[in-house]
């Protein structure tokens, strides 16, 4: 009887720990806000090239991708080295073979933003994946209580300013305290959500902006696993080799067992 009680206790403790772990993981992934799927495509080179361009123009000033080299990005994405250096690398001391550092002093950055901009090489593997980044870039909204006047739905109280504000315009949250997932029972349309304030539109239409967020998410997913495409094409050769090898293995087996049977 005692033993049963003990195991019950152990089981409930485990269950409790498990649920704490799970809920903190879920909170880290999206703060409960539903993630939109980016459906990224690592074979879409044009999108990756655009992603690299946007990344270098709008993100690399604060964030490093220091586990990646300019040369590798140029070669993988089919960008000629001279074009890469002229148009996408703004640190004029940098060389094509350099790691993609940035020149921001982490201490000063902490004073400015309250947090140091983290390295983004692997961010798509540690946060909730490309979908998280896609949703993150699209869910900045006006919040006068925050230092930069904006907040974010999947990263509440984020230290990063809305750096794409002039492209997207300022979004307002029409939900307030009501459920952001609520839908009209008849039409199935969302009842509230984030919409760009018609008075303060950005230079991009919403669909264009989404495309840009997609390109950036695609690029950061590539950056976290640049070998992905090579690995897949190598895999096909491995299977072909195994298929050919099977024929010889079978013939050899027949030869060996000929005299036994
Ligand atoms: C003005 C500086 C600045 C620029 C430019 C900037 N960021 Fe940030 N970013 C930050 C700071 C600071 C944080 C840390 C926020 C925090 O921890 O509260 C951050 C956090 C992030 C995170 C969350 C990372 C994590 O692991 O928590 C992502 C993803 C991100 N930025 C992506 C981008 C992308 C994509 C761009 C370009 C479109 C960009 N950032 C441009 C300052 C910047």
pLDDT higher than threshold 90 for residue 139: yes
Task: Count Cα atoms within 13 angstroms, Cβ side, for 231.
Answer: 6
> Do β-strands 140-142 and 65-69 pair in parallel, antiparallel, or remain unpaired?
unpaired
Pocket test of ligand 1: the residue of 63, 165, 167 to mutate, having most ligand atoms within 8 Å of its CB, is: 63
Q: CA-CA distance, 256 to 261, in Å (whole number)?
A: 10
From the CA of 159, give the closest atom in ligand 1: 18
Give the tokens for residue 173: 């949250």
Please report the pLDDT score of residue 36 as a whole number.
92
SS percent in the chain: helix, strand, coil, step 5: 50, 10, 40
**104 Cβ neighbours under 8 A, 6+ residues apart:** 61, 62, 117
Complete DSSP assignment for 85-104: IIII---TT--TTSEE----
Calculate the alpha carbon distances from 98 to 74, 83, 94 in Å.
12, 16, 6
pTM for this structure? 0.82
Q: Give the range among 28-37, 129-138, 152-161, 228-237 with minimum mean pLDDT.
A: 28-37
**98 Cβ neighbours under 8 A, 6+ residues apart:** 69, 70
pLDDT digits (tens, 9 = 90+) for 28-40: 444 578 899 999 9
Confidence of residue 91 (pLDDT cuts 50, 70, 90): confident
- For residue 186, the cross-strand partners are none
Class for domain 36-230, per CATH? mainly alpha
Pocket test of ligand 1: the residue of 62, 153, 165, 220 to mutate, having most ligand atoms within 8 Å of its CB, is: 62
Report the chain's terminal Cα–Cα distance, integer Å.
62
From the CA of 61, give the closest atom in ligand 1: 5
Tell how far the Cα of 38 is from the centroid of ligand 1, in angstroms.
Answer: 19
Tell how far the Cα of 162 is from the centroid of ligand 1, in angstroms.
Answer: 9
Whether 64 is in the pocket of ligand 1, judged by its Cβ within 6 Å, is: no
Whether 67 is in the pocket of ligand 1, judged by its Cβ within 6 Å, is: no
User: Where along the chain do its domains lie?
Assistant: 36-230
pLDDT digits (tens, 9 = 90+) for 54-83: 999 999 999 999 999 999 999 999 999 999
Give just the sign of the alpha carbon dihedral 144, 150, 154, 155.
negative
Angle at 103 between CA 101 and CA 109, to 5 degrees: 110
Give the tokens for residue 238: 């491995």
Q: What percent of the chain has pLDDT over 70?
A: 88
**216 Cβ neighbours under 8 A, 6+ residues apart:** 51, 54, 55, 59, 133, 137
Q: Is 99 helix (H, G, I), strand (E, B) or coil?
A: strand
Q: Is 13 helix (H, G, I), strand (E, B) or coil?
A: helix
> Do β-strands 65-69 and 99-100 pair in parallel, antiparallel, or remain unpaired?
antiparallel
């Amino acid at each position: 009887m005692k033993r049963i009680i003990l195991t019950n206790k152990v089981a409930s403790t485990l269950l409790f720990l498990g649920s704490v772990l799970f809920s903190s993981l879920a909170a880290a992934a999206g703060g409960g806000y539903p993630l939109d799927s980016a459906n990224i495509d690592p074979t879409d080179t044009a999108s990756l090239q655009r992603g690299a361009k946007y990344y270098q123009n709008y993100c690399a000033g604060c964030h490093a991708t220091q586990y990646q080299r300019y040369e590798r990005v140029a070669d993988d994405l089919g960008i000629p080295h001279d074009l890469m250096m002229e148009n996408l690398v703004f640190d004029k001391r940098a060389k094509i073979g350099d790691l993609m550092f940035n020149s921001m002093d982490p201490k000063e950055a902490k004073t400015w933003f309250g947090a140091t901009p983290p390295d983004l090489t692997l961010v798509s593997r540690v946060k909730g994946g490309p979908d998280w980044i896609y949703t993150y870039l699209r869910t900045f909204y006006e919040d006068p209580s925050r230092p930069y006047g904006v907040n974010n739905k999947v990263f509440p109280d984020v230290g990063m300013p809305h750096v794409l504000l002039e492209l997207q315009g300022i979004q307002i949250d029409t939900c307030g305290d009501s459920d952001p997932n609520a839908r009209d029972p008849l039409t199935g349309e969302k009842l509230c959500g984030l919409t760009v304030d018609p008075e303060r539109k950005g230079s991009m239409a919403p669909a264009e902006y989404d495309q840009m967020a997609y390109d950036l998410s695609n690029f950061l997913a590539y950056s976290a696993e640049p070998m992905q495409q090579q690995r897949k094409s190598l895999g096909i050769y491995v299977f072909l080799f195994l298929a050919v090898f099977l024929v010889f293995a079978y013939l050899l087996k027949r030869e060996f067992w000929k005299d036994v049977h």
